[in-house]
Structure 1
Amino acid sequence: MSAGSAAHRRAEARSLPAAAVIDADGVVLGWTRAAERLLGYRPADIVGHSAAILLTPGDHDERLSSWAREYGHRDSWSGLAEVRHRSGDRLVLHLQGHRLPAADGRSAWVLSANPASMKAALEPLVEPLVQRSPVAIWIWDRDLRCVWRNAKARHFHEVLSLCGDGEAPPEEPLLHRDSQVAKLVRQALEDGTPVIDNEVRLAAVDGSTRTLSISVFRLDDVDGLPIGVCSLAIDVTQSMARERVSLLVEASTSIGTSLDVWQTAQELAQFGVPDLADYVVVDLVESVLPESVLPDDDDPDRPSAETYSSVFRRAGMASSRPSGPPSPWARGEVVFLPPDSPYTDVLATGCSFFEPVVDTSPGTWMDHDPKRARVTREEGMHSRMVVPLRARGETLGVTAFIRSANPTPFTWDDLIIAEEFVARAALSLDSARRYTRERTAALALQHSLLPRRLSGGDVMEVAHRYLPSGTHSGVGGDWYDAIPLDDGRIAVVVGDVTGHGINAAALMGRVRTAVRTLAYLGMPPCELLARLDVLVAQLHEQDDEGDDSTLLSRSSTCMYAVYDPATRRLSMATAGHPPPVVVHPDGEAAFPELFVGPPVGLALGSYASVEVELPAGTVVALYTDGLIERRDDDLDAGMERLREALASRVGLPLEILCTSVINAMVGGRAAEDDVALLVIRTR
C-alpha cells in the first residue's frame, strides 16, 4: 500500500460521520473513532455503558426511555438533538437512526451524527418555502440570538428597534432583553405554550409607531427539550378595520359615563387626543346646555350682529400639549361664528367639513374670525376636521379635530373614524340633555307642590330640609307638611311616593292635597290613613287604563301624627313608613313602638294609632328612608346613626339642627335617594 493511498483512506475516515450502536436498553455496543473525535469519549469510556451519559443534565434515564418509546418502533428516523461533550459543552447534532435486527430477536440501532447548528439544519428545509413569505419569521436560540430569519424579517430589522447591539455578530442580532417580544420568547421557552396573535407596538427608526401581530412557538429537539423559538409577525398598523373597532369599543366605555352634559362633552374632547388629533374642541348650541344664558348684549367682546350668524358655547376641549389647549375661548365661554364659517355650515347642513390642508391665506373665512385665525397661525394648525354632533334628527353642536404637532394631514379614513365615535357621543349627549331637562322639570314641579313655609304657631317650632337624589334615577316623590287644625292641634306628616320623575312628583302633589283635606276633618291618624289608602287606590284605578303594573309599584308610604298642646300628647300612625325619632330635652332618644300598616294605595290596609307624651322642649324628627339608607348598610344601622345624630344635637337651634343632621347622615356623598326631614320642637 502506497503512502498516498493510506493518507487518502485516513482523510476519508475523518470525513465519515460519527457512529454508534445502541441496544434496546440504551447500552452502547459500538463506538467509532469519529464519534470519539466528535464527543471526546474513548471507546473504553463509553462502550458497555448507558447512552444516557451523552445527554445534557437532567433525568437522563427517563429521557432515554422516552426516546426509545418514541422512535423504537421505527426502522429509520432523523432529527436534531442536543448532546453533551466530555468537556461538558453542549452540541447540536443532526442524528440518523437505522434498526439492526439481532439474532435473539432484540433490536439495536445504528446512530450516525453530524455537527449541525440550527441554522445549518433548518435553512435547506424551510428557506425555499418562507424566504418570500409576507410574514416575517425569526428563529431565536435560548440566548435570544437570531439564528435564522427570512427577507421580511430582515426588512423589519431595518425599520424597527427590535434588536440591540449586544455581542452578537451582525448576522445573529440579539433581541432587546427587556422588550415585549423578548418577554413572549422567554415565556414560550419556559412553559412551551404558544402565543397567538399578540399585538405589540414597536418604535420605528423614523419616529413612528408600528403595530405587529406576533405569534410565538417553541422548537424542541428529539428529546423533547427546547432548543429555540420561532416567532412570526404581521404588520397590522394600517388595518383600519381593526383600528376602527378598537376605537369604537374604547369610545363606548370612555364617553358618556354620566348623565352630565358638560362632563360628556369633555370626555368626547379628551378621547380624540392624541390618537386622532393634537387638539379637540366641542362646541354646543345654547339649547343643549343646562341653565344656558344667552350672550349679554352689553358684552364688549360681542361682535356686531352683522358679523356673526351662530352662537356656540365651548363645552369641552383637550390638547396633547402639557400646557393645555391653545384657544381664545375657555370652557363655558360663548363662541361667535361668522356667516361664512365652516362651523356654521356644519351646524346648518349636518355634514362634516374636511380640510386636510388648512388655508390660512388672506381672503378666506378666517378674515372674519380674527381670534381663530391668530391661534391657527401661531400654533401651526395645518389640518382640520369639523364633525356635527347629531342625535335623533337634531344637531346639538360641532366637534373640531385639529393637527399641529403631528405633521401628517388627516385622511378620509380619519374622518370616517371621527364621525363614527362622534355619532355615539352625540347619543350620550342627547340622553344627558333629556335627563337634565326632565330632572329640572320634575324638581320645579316638586318644589312648586311642596310647602314653602311651615309654621307651628305658638304650639311648636318647625324646621325642614329636602335633598334631591344625586343618582340617575331622577327626582323622587318625597314630601312633608305641617297642618294647623281648627281646634289648636297641629298635624305633621312625611310621605314617600313610589317612583321617580315628573309622574312621581305629580302624584306626590295629589297625595299631599288629599292628606290636607282629610286632616281638616279632624279624624285620628289611623282613620285618616285608612281613608287615604282607599283614595290613593281609586286615583290609581282612574289613571291606570289597563296598566298591569304591580300593586307595590303603585303604593306610597306615609307617617302621620297630630300634636295636642292641651294634653301634650302626640298621636301617630304609620303606613309602611319608618318610625319617628323622639328626643327628650335631656338627650334621651328613642323610636316609639308603632303598629306598621301597609303602604297606602293598596286598599287593603288597617292601621292603629299610638300616643306618646311630649314634655316641653321635646324634639320629634320625621324623615324618609333616603336619610337612613345606604347600599353597604341595613336600615337598622341607619336608624341608629340617626338616633345618635339627633341625641347629640338636641340643644341646637332647630334650623341648625336640621342642617347638621343632614350633613352627618349624608355627608359629602351624593344622596342615593331623595331625602326629606321634618323636625318639630314643642314649646
Structure 2
Amino acid sequence: MSTPASSPSPPSSKVAGIHPPLPPVQHTPGPPSQENRRSAAIRRPGLTEDRLAGWISDLTTVQALTERIGRTGTLAEAIHETLHAGASLLGARRAFLALRPLEPPGPWQSPGGEQLAGLGLDRADLGQWETVPRASACHTRLLDARPGAEPTEIGHRDIAGESALHPQHRAVAARLGCAASYALPLTTDAEHPLGAAVWLFDRPGVPEPRQRQLLARCLRPAARHLAGRLELSRARRAIATVRDELLPARLPRLPGVALAARQRAEPLGGAVCYDALALPDAGLGLAIGATPETGPAALAAMGRLRAGLRAYAVMEGEDPVAVLSDLELLLRLTEPGHAATALFGYAEPAVRRLVFASAGHPPPLVIGERGAEYADTALSAPLNMLACWEAPSVELELNGGETVLLYSEGMLRRAGWPSDAAFTRLRAAAADAPPAARADPEALLDHLLTALPPRPRAGGRPNADTVLLAARFH
C-alpha cells in the first residue's frame, strides 16, 4: 500500500558515529481526523528539520574529510588520509590501498606489481594480502576489470562463510582476523582506475547504503588528488634519476689520495654536479659545477656541461684555466642564456700538488691538523656571463694529511645566511672536526653534514642541492 502524501516516509538511517538513526514515523490508519491532521502538521516541520540537519551534517563530514585529503602534500600522506576517511565513514579499523604500477604492463606481461599501502596493517600484513590470487582478491578484481564493466564495488559480508572465495583468500582473512571487507576503485577521467581501496571489518556485515553513498562522494575528489600526487611523485623520481646520472658512478682509487663525496638533493634545488677522474701520468681531476636554474632543462644543460668538462680535462687537464675557457666557449655556443659556476683542479697526488681555477664558484677549503683555511682565489665571473672568460690559476702545495674540500652553495645555505657568516660557520665546523674525522674523508663529510644540519629557507630563497667532494692527500 502506498504511503499517504500527508505522512512522510521514514528517514534512512545515518552513518554510524555521525548521527543516531531516527525512529520511524507511526502512520495513522484510515482517514485522518481533524486532531490527527493538526498533530501531523505539528510533527512535519520537526521531521523535515531533522532530515535537513542530518543531510547537512553528513555533507559537512564529507567536506571535512575531503579537505584533509586535499591538504596533503605527499603521496603517502594522501593515501593515509584517504584510507582514514573511508574508515571513519564505514566504521572500519583497518584498510589498504593498491596503486597501479608506474608503467603499465606490456602485451606480453601479466598484470601485477601494484604498490600496497595500509592503515592499521604493517608490511607483513600487506604481504599476506599479496598472496591472494588475483581472481579472488578484491583490489585486483577491481583493477583488472574492463573499463565500464562490473564490478564497480565488491563487498564480502562474511569472508569465512563464502565458499566461492579462494581458500587462500579465506585463510589470509582468518589469519589477520578480518571477518568482512568492502572495496571500491579509485577512478578519475582516465580509462582505467588508478587504484583500489579495501576496508576490513572485525565482524561480519556490509556498510549501509547511506555509508556507501557518502564514501563514493568522498572518493571522487580523493582520487583526483591522489592522481596529482602520483604524477608529481613520478616526475620527481624521473628528475632524481637524471640528477643521479650527473654524478660519477664511483670515485677513482689512486695512490697518495683518498676521495669521498656526498650529495643531498632538494626538491627545488638547482642542478649541481661533481666529478673526480683519473688523468694521464697519474694525475687526478677534481671538478664541481652548479647552475641556479631548476627543472629538467637545467639538469640536461648541466649534463652536457659535465660531458664537455670531462673531455677538456682529458685533453688539457694540466691547465685548469684552459679547461674552463674551453668550457665557457662551449656553454656560450650551445647554451646561450644559461649561466653556471664551475671549479676545476688538477692534482698530482705523488707530490701533493694541486692547481685549480674557479669560474664564480666558492673557493676550496683546506683542512689540516692546524685548522681550516680557504684557498686564495681571484674574483671571477660565472661561465657565460662575460664575452670572454679568463681568470688566473692558483697552485697549492699541500702537506701530508691535509684535505681539500669542494662544496656547493647548498652547503653554505646549510651553514646560514648571509654568505659571510656561512663561510665562517663552515670553516669553524671543519676546524672542530675530531682527529679521527680529519684522518678519514668519509668521516669528515659525515661530521660536516651533522654539524651543519639543513636550515629553514632564508628570505624565501629555495634550498640548493648539497654536494661535497673531499680529497685527502697522504
TM norm structure 2: 0.70
Cα distance between partner residues in 1 of 2:225 and 2:304: 34
> 1:536 corresponds to which residue?
331
> 1:608 corresponds to which residue?
391
> 1:8 corresponds to which residue?
none
Q: How does 1:233-248 map to 2 (within 5 A)?
A: 235=50, 238-240=53-55, 243-244=58-59, 246-248=61-63
Q: Give 1:640 shift.
A: 2.5
Q: How does 1:175-324 map to 2 (within 5 A)?
A: 235=50, 238-240=53-55, 243-244=58-59, 246-254=61-69, 257-260=72-75, 262-279=76-93, 281-285=95-99, 287-288=101-102, 314-318=116-120
Cα distance between partner residues in 2 of 1:317 and 1:447: 33
Q: Deviations over 1:470-495 (max 9, x none)?
A: x4x47x53221234444665432111
> 2:424 corresponds to which residue?
640
Cα distance between partner residues in 2 of 1:460 and 1:631: 27
CA 1:249 to 1:540, structure 2 compared with 1: closer, same or farther past 3 Å?
farther
Q: Deviations over 1:609-635 (max 9, x none)?
A: 252533322221001122221497443
Cα distance between partner residues in 1 of 2:97 and 2:424: 49
Cα distance between partner residues in 1 of 2:361 and 2:273: 13
Cα distance between partner residues in 2 of 1:446 and 1:361: 50
SS in 2 for 1:329: helix
> 1:576 corresponds to which residue?
360
Q: Deviations over 1:328-348 (max 9, x none)?
A: 933786252453665454321
1:454 pairs with 2:251: yes
Matched positions, count: 417
Cα distance between partner residues in 2 of 1:418 and 1:345: 19
Q: Deviations over 1:286-310 (max 9, x none)?
A: 6149xx9xxxxxxxxxxxx9xxx97
Give the letter aligned to residue 663 of structure 1: T
Give the letter aligned to residue 440 of structure 2: P
> 1:68 corresponds to which residue?
none
CA 1:439 to 1:379, structure 2 compared with 1: closer, same or farther past 3 Å?
closer
Contact in 2 for aligned 1:283/1:312 (Cα 8 Å): no
SS in 1 for 2:316: coil
Higher relative contact order, structure no. (Cα contacts within 8 Å, ≥ 6 residues apart) = 2
- Which of 280, 284, 304 is matched with 1:510 structurally? 304
SS in 1 for 2:126: coil
Q: Give 1:566 shift.
A: 8.8
Q: How does 1:17-36 map to 2 (within 5 A)?
A: none
What residue ranges of structure 1 are gaps of 5+ in the alignment?
A: 1-200, 208-232, 293-304, 319-323, 542-550
Q: How does 1:407-418 map to 2 (within 5 A)?
A: 409-411=207-209, 413-418=210-215
Cα distance between partner residues in 2 of 1:523 and 1:311: 51
Cα distance between partner residues in 2 of 1:432 and 1:532: 39
> 2:261 corresponds to which residue?
464
- Which of 333, 338, 346 is matched with 2:142 structurally? 346
Contact in 2 for aligned 1:482/1:490 (Cα 8 Å): yes
SS in 1 for 2:87: coil
Cα distance between partner residues in 1 of 2:77 and 2:405: 38
Contact in 1 for aligned 2:316/2:323 (Cα 8 Å): no
CA 1:630 to 1:605, structure 2 compared with 1: closer, same or farther past 3 Å?
farther
Give the letter aligned to residue 132 of structure 2: F
Choose between structure 1 and 2: higher strand proportion: 1
- Which of 195, 201, 208 is matched with 1:397 structurally? 195
Give the letter aligned to residue 427 of structure 1: R
SS in 2 for 1:629: helix
What residue ranges of structure 2 are gaps of 5+ in the alignment?
A: 1-16, 24-47
Q: How does 1:479-558 map to 2 (within 5 A)?
A: 479-486=273-280, 489-500=283-294, 502-519=296-313, 520-522=315-317, 524-541=319-336, 551=337, 554-558=338-342
Cα distance between partner residues in 2 of 1:634 and 1:480: 24
> 2:5 corresponds to which residue?
none
Cα distance between partner residues in 2 of 1:586 and 1:393: 65
Q: How does 1:85-164 map to 2 (within 5 A)?
A: none
Give the letter aligned to residue 316 of structure 1: G
Structure number, greater radius of gyration: 1
TM norm structure 1: 0.51
Cα distance between partner residues in 1 of 2:171 and 2:350: 76
> 2:369 corresponds to which residue?
586
Q: Deviations over 1:219-273 (max 9, x none)?
A: xxxxxxxxxxxxxx9657645366435523542333572434x443223212223
SS in 2 for 1:269: helix
Contact in 1 for aligned 2:138/2:183 (Cα 8 Å): no
- Which of 403, 406, 421 is matched with 2:218 structurally? 421
Amino-acid identity (%)? 21
Cα distance between partner residues in 1 of 2:127 and 2:172: 19
- Which of 432, 443, 447 is matched with 1:656 structurally? 443
> 1:166 corresponds to which residue?
none
Q: Give 1:202 shift.
A: 11
Contact in 2 for aligned 1:360/1:377 (Cα 8 Å): no
Q: Give 1:399 shift.
A: 1.3
RMSD: 4.5
> 2:467 corresponds to which residue?
676
CA 1:638 to 1:523, structure 2 compared with 1: closer, same or farther past 3 Å?
same
Q: Deviations over 1:189-231 (max 9, x none)?
A: xxxxxxxxxxxx9997999xxxxxxxxxxxxxxxxxxxxxxxx
SS in 1 for 2:271: strand
Cα distance between partner residues in 1 of 2:86 and 2:203: 15
> 2:227 corresponds to which residue?
430
1:561 pairs with 2:345: yes
CA 1:206 to 1:341, structure 2 compared with 1: closer, same or farther past 3 Å?
same
Cα distance between partner residues in 2 of 1:349 and 1:623: 54
- Which of 377, 382, 392 is matched with 1:599 structurally? 382
SS in 2 for 1:287: coil
- Which of 254, 271, 275 is matched with 1:477 structurally? 271
Contact in 2 for aligned 1:313/1:333 (Cα 8 Å): no
CA 1:354 to 1:633, structure 2 compared with 1: closer, same or farther past 3 Å?
same
Cα distance between partner residues in 1 of 2:418 and 2:224: 37
Give the letter aligned to residue 561 of structure 1: G
Cα distance between partner residues in 2 of 1:564 and 1:370: 66
CA 1:461 to 1:239, structure 2 compared with 1: closer, same or farther past 3 Å?
same
Cα distance between partner residues in 1 of 2:211 and 2:19: 22
Q: Give 1:398 shift.
A: 0.9
Contact in 1 for aligned 2:271/2:291 (Cα 8 Å): yes
CA 1:586 to 1:387, structure 2 compared with 1: closer, same or farther past 3 Å?
closer
Cα distance between partner residues in 2 of 1:488 and 1:564: 7
Cα distance between partner residues in 1 of 2:203 and 2:244: 52
